[in-house]
Structure 1
Amino acid sequence: MTTARAAGTKGVPRARREQQILAAALEEFGRRGYSAASMAEIARSVGVTKPMLYTYFGSKDGLYAACVDHVGPRLLGAIERAMASGPPGDRLPHAVLAALFDVLENQRHSWFVLYDRSLTPDSDPWHAARRHREAIDALATHGTAALLRDRGNGDTLDADALKQVWTGAVGALLGWWISHPEMPAHEMSARCARLLVAIQGAPSGRTD
């Protein structure tokens, strides 16, 4: 994982400085959650003053919104491309996971910026994250429903339950990956491929 490198306050183009701040803020918000995230720590990571953060983004809310607007479309695009590639139903979960690992290789905490439980309901940061999260959740709903239909199960409650399981599993896998920073995206992808094969090969439980 990488974070923004310290740099002087002069001689850095505005666009580059913004990218440095966003990289540091994504890691800080992703690691600690919005409520506990420190603007002072973000500024220190970049090598700028706190007032400069406010000059660029207006407020902590503004910086958080910029973060979710930066990472949300990247995550959504990765998932959409994976689903559009047309893998067979049983290979779709791995295709999506592999796409997420690839796009999050250098900013692994970014997922948790969107799925931040510390956000105050109905606040501006909460709405900013919710907008992107709902778009990603809609794809998850579509994918899990399609997977069940391919297996002859069109039950909407089953599909909704599976979507919740899937979203939780993605977060758990990303959390595990964060705890193993030495593991590159392609190795994590291969590991998940093995795990999915093991899960799919498990016998189903009896219901009679």
Structure 2
Amino acid sequence: MTTDRTGHVGTRGMPRPEREAQILDAALAEFGERGYHQVSVAAIARRAAISKPLVHAYFGTKDALYVRCVEALTETLLGVITPVVEGAEPGMPMALETLQTIFTTMRERPTDWMVLYDENLPRDSSVHQVAAAGRDRMTDLGAVGVRAALRHHAGAAEVDEVDASMMNHVWQSVVTSLMTWWIEHPDQTPAELTARFERILVAMTDVHPSGPPRRHPPQPLR
């Protein structure tokens, strides 16, 4: 091991922060692509092109490394989504900008999303607790956008709390569904994904960005 000019210990001349980032990136890729249960420290070491003992020296256990991955991913996502929720026009504009922001942030490796949303993490474990806490933070931020959309739509200060709960539940599911679809269709760009979702939403709701929903007269029973 060596020491860089700042005093940070690294290996083979690589500063410690760079080595940690290298290991975390390899771990995110492995966990995202294969899931927590299918990944070993040895596999992460191979992907990072370093030794297994070195991974343990930097991060300790597999669980500790997974926790660091979840924490880093959560902070990254919240860091880019929060400004959108705070500044975009409520409703469809905010939804579309949020999605494009997520897609753009994850464009190099969409599978990273699954590290936070792995449904098979062992219950009552540190990895499950930290991932659940990260998802809760994402859900709480989504609730802010949902409530803003409902207030904007109704033109009122108060919202129906049950409506808000249902809408946020649907929104969280939609985002993860879009991410899993993207993983299966990696040729799609962030702009294309966002445009496709907008077209689908318009088709399903008959809501047009440039105006209110079209009203169709009821058809007589035959």
TM-score normalised by structure 2 residue count: 0.80
Compared CA separation, residues 154 and 88, structure 1 to 2 (3 A)? closer
Matches of 1:43 and 1:10, distance apart in 2: 15
Question: Which one of the candidate residues 38, 41, 56 is aligned to 2:40?
Answer: 38
Give the C-alpha shift of residue 166 in structure 1.
0.9
Q: How does 1:100-179 map to 2 (within 5 A)?
A: 100-152=102-154, 154-179=159-184
The structure with higher relative contact order (CA 8 Å, sep 6+) is: 1
* Aligned partner letter, 1:94: L
Give the C-alpha shift of residue 17 in structure 1.
2.0
Is the 8 Å Cα contact of residues 87 and 95 (structure 1) preserved in structure 2?
A: no
Query: 1:90-138: per-residue Cα shift (whole Å, max 9, x none)?
Result: 2111111011111111231222211121112231111211222211110
Matches of 1:63 and 1:29, distance apart in 2: 10
Q: Which residue of 1 aligns with 2:53?
A: 51
Matches of 1:36 and 1:157, distance apart in 2: 39
Q: Which residue of 1 aligns with 2:24?
A: 22
Is the 8 Å Cα contact of residues 20 and 58 (structure 2) preserved in structure 1?
A: yes
Q: Which residue of 1 aligns with 2:89?
A: 87
Matches of 2:69 and 2:165, distance apart in 1: 28
Matches of 1:133 and 1:13, distance apart in 2: 32
Q: Does 1:197 align with 2:202?
A: yes
Q: Aligned to 1:102, what secondary structure does the other structure show?
A: helix
Q: Aligned to 2:110, what secondary structure does the other structure show?
A: coil
Is the 8 Å Cα contact of residues 27 and 69 (structure 2) preserved in structure 1?
A: yes
Query: 1:47-72: per-residue Cα shift (whole Å, max 9, x none)?
Result: 11211111110111110111012111
Identity in percent: 39
Q: Aligned to 2:188, what secondary structure does the other structure show?
A: coil
Matches of 1:117 and 1:96, distance apart in 2: 23
Q: Which residue of 2 aligns with 1:78?
A: 80
Structure 2, unmatched stretches of 5+, are 1-10, 208-213
* Aligned partner letter, 2:141: L
Q: Which moved more, 1:183-192 or 1:160-169?
A: 183-192
* Aligned partner letter, 2:199: R
* Aligned partner letter, 1:155: D
TM-score normalised by structure 1 residue count: 0.85
- Max Rg structure: 2
Is the 8 Å Cα contact of residues 72 and 114 (structure 1) preserved in structure 2?
A: yes
Is the 8 Å Cα contact of residues 84 and 97 (structure 2) preserved in structure 1?
A: yes
* Aligned partner letter, 1:187: E
Is the 8 Å Cα contact of residues 85 and 144 (structure 2) preserved in structure 1?
A: no
Q: Which residue of 1 aligns with 2:211?
A: none
* Aligned partner letter, 2:185: H
Structure 1, unmatched stretches of 5+, are 1-8
